Amino acid sequence: MQEDNANTYQDELFDKLKKSMSLKREEECIGCLIKPALWWIVEHPSPKIGEIEKLIGGSCPYMKKGRRGKLKPWAGSILGVIKNAAETKKLTRFECIEGLHGFVYPVAQGDRLYGYIGTCYTKTDVSPEILDIFSAFTDVIVREIQKELELSKLYETLRPRAIALSTVHTVHRLISSTLDLTELLPRIARLSLQIMRANRCSIKLVDAKKKTLLPKATVDLREKKTRLKKVKVGKWAPGKAVKYGRPIKGDNYLATPLIDEDVIGVITVYDKIDNKPFSASDQEIMSTLAEQAVIAIKNAQLYKEQEQLTMGSIKSLAKVLDTRAPGTYVPRASFVKISLAMGQDMRMDADEVKSLEYAAILHDAGEIVVPDDVLTKPAKLTGREYAIVKEHPAAGVEIIKHMKALKSVLPTILYHHEHFDGSGYPKGLKKDQIPLGARIMAIVSAFEAMITNRPYRVVKTIDEAMDEISRNSGTQFDPRVVETFLKIIGKKDIRSMLERELYG
Amino acid sequence: MDNKKIFSSELHLKIIKFFHENQASIDTPRGVATWIGEDRAKVKSALEDLVKNKILIADRATSTTGYGYTRDTALISKIEKILSSLG
């Protein structure tokens, strides 16, 4: 293989030399001084006498005089000169026939000799000065061609690697862009399939307690699909990859373990689309992809844990608040669902919708500063009492602001009592000055207060509450949000959930 | 854009050639533009044309989109023939 590469290099070198305009110009210039001359090139380091005969024979001035028999000894003497030039790696002059001259220039790089450029039959003996000039120029031309060849070889070697590296980088960006495991795992499976040019990919995660692998994502392009199933650690290729913590490769499958501190799962690809077996290079690429996948999976798992922790804290806080006015602060699941559905319908992004979920539970947390007798007063509040109630959004922010994870919820809590026409509190904001989350929460909390038991008002039916919200569209509530609210409440599943929770 | 137009567009053809020669590659518009030496905005639009024609597959995330080559072997063979005929 190495010899093949060397021969290719030699062929390319002489191909470029023969096409080199610089060499042609140099031959013309030198040719003017030493004419007439026969220029020849030997494209390998060890020519035979027959080859030299062919090169010099056609233009030999004595051939026409019927002295063909003399050609062989002349070729032999030139071959001797070539051998000498090969040893010294220097340009060598010689007398080819009586009164005619020539020289041989060895084409070399360091110790390696590739061939020769030479002349014959010049009537003028070439002066050492001209030879020095020729030698220096030819050195430059050969070196430039060699550099060009090296660069192109380097480009050919590096380009596929750079493209592969760019693929790795793109995959990293794609899988780092989500912290949602239900989105992440299918994405990793799709990308593995694409990179491996395979027909099927499955990702299984380890259930450490049961010593099994649970299928979490699969992409199957075949018509006859395989059923997802649990696999015991140690069984089949995925199980073995997990047990031994190394890739397990067969002709039509490649199982790569997902290794963090421990093995957390396995990615298995099956059946390449060109029906070729998985290669060592495939194994290397999958191992790199698995390393990236592990980081993304661990991040998503940590994020989920963090989210559960935050939700747990919020629910605990709601429970504590609820002891003051039972049934007021622990929200019914339907109100949370309505808030989320409204956020999604209004094209809020995933983080904003999550904030809305937290706000649905915590929006009235600040009522902790409102005395019990005011909070549970069955009659109309006095001006002073109403002033105390109006402080609850800011008080809610004071309580929650210490939880960093809930920072994005604060504007919704602070402004959920603002009115669309600017008549609300605490700041009298109007229209788009009020954050969208707060405009949504204003409707959901008002609706909740109307249809659930409150000491200060008579309970309304769902339809009555919807009518009241419609009547206040454009004054208290944002008309666009009211429209969305009515659409969501009109949905069969939401309506039945509400009715079940309210009326049993 | 129909297939005939796609194969007569120099830019689209350059992108197809790139993915045909690097079938395991997944890259962003910026990456593909670098590899084929073309303008990123034009490449982005051409990549979407190729997705519509099912020659490329797009994996879309919030921060970027990764483009990869079709896995349809019949389509790959067809493209191989077209590219060979174009020389």
Dump pLDDT digits (tens) for B19-60.
999 999 999 999 999 999 999 999 999 999 999 999 999 999
At A412 the three-state DSSP class reads helix
Specify if A158 maps to a domain: no
Segment A106-117 shows an average pLDDT of 88
State the nearest Cα–Cα gap between A110 and chain B, in angstroms: 34
pLDDT at residue A175 tops 80: yes
pLDDT at residue A499 tops 50: yes
pLDDT at residue A36 tops 50: yes
Same domain membership, residue A257 and residue A110:
no
d(CA A309, CA A32): 90
Q: What pLDDT score was predicted for residue A1?
A: 46
Q: What pLDDT score was predicted for residue A4?
A: 60
Q: What is the number of domains present in chain B?
A: 1
Specify if A163 maps to a domain: no
d(CA A100, CA A168): 65
Q: What is the number of domains present in chain A?
A: 3
pTM of the predicted model, to two decimals? Answer: 0.69
d(CA A98, CA A103): 15
A177 at interface of B, judged by CB pairs closer than 8 A:
yes
Q: What pLDDT score was predicted for residue A190?
A: 95
Same domain membership, residue A273 and residue A341:
no
Same domain membership, residue A331 and residue A257:
no
Specify if A174 maps to a domain: no
Cβ contact B26–A221 (<8 Å): no
Q: What pLDDT score was predicted for residue B79?
A: 95
In chain B, residues with a C-beta closer than 8 Å to the C-beta of A169 are: 31
In chain B, residues with a C-beta closer than 8 Å to the C-beta of A166 are: 25, 27, 31, 34-35
Same domain membership, residue A143 and residue A192:
no
Same domain membership, residue A197 and residue A81:
no
- Diameter of chain B measured on Cα atoms: 39
State the nearest Cα–Cα gap between B71 and chain A, in angstroms: 7
pLDDT at residue A43 tops 70: yes
* Residue A30 or A337, more confident: A337
Q: What is the CATH number of the domain that holds B77?
A: 1.10.10.10
Same domain membership, residue A420 and residue A272:
no
Q: What pLDDT score was predicted for residue A328?
A: 60
- The residue range of the domain holding B52 is 3-86
Same domain membership, residue A199 and residue A100:
no
Inter-residue contact A497 to A334 (CB < 8 Å): yes
Tokens 């077996």 sit on residue = A277
Strands (E), A48-111: 92-97, 100-109
pLDDT range class, residue A66, cuts 50, 70, 90: low
Segment A339-353 shows an average pLDDT of 92
Cβ contact A170–B27 (<8 Å): yes
Same domain membership, residue A187 and residue A129:
no
From the list A169, A191, A273, which residue is nearest B59 (CB)? A191
Q: What pLDDT score was predicted for residue A261?
A: 86
Q: What is the CATH number of the domain that holds A195?
A: 3.30.450.40
Q: Which region among A39-43, B11-15, B53-57 has the lowest average model confidence (pLDDT)?
A: A39-43
What percentage of chain A exceeds 90 in pLDDT?
43
d(CA A29, CA A479): 89
Q: What is the CATH number of the domain that holds A451?
A: 1.10.3210.10
From the list B26, B34, B71, which residue is nearest A191 (CB)? B26
- The residue range of the domain holding A224 is 181-301
A89 at interface of B, judged by CB pairs closer than 8 A:
no
Q: What is the CATH number of the domain that holds A124?
A: 3.30.450
Same domain membership, residue A77 and residue A28:
yes
pLDDT at residue A67 tops 70: no
Segment A418-431 shows an average pLDDT of 94
Segment A240-250 shows an average pLDDT of 95
State the nearest Cα–Cα gap between A281 and chain B, in angstroms: 12
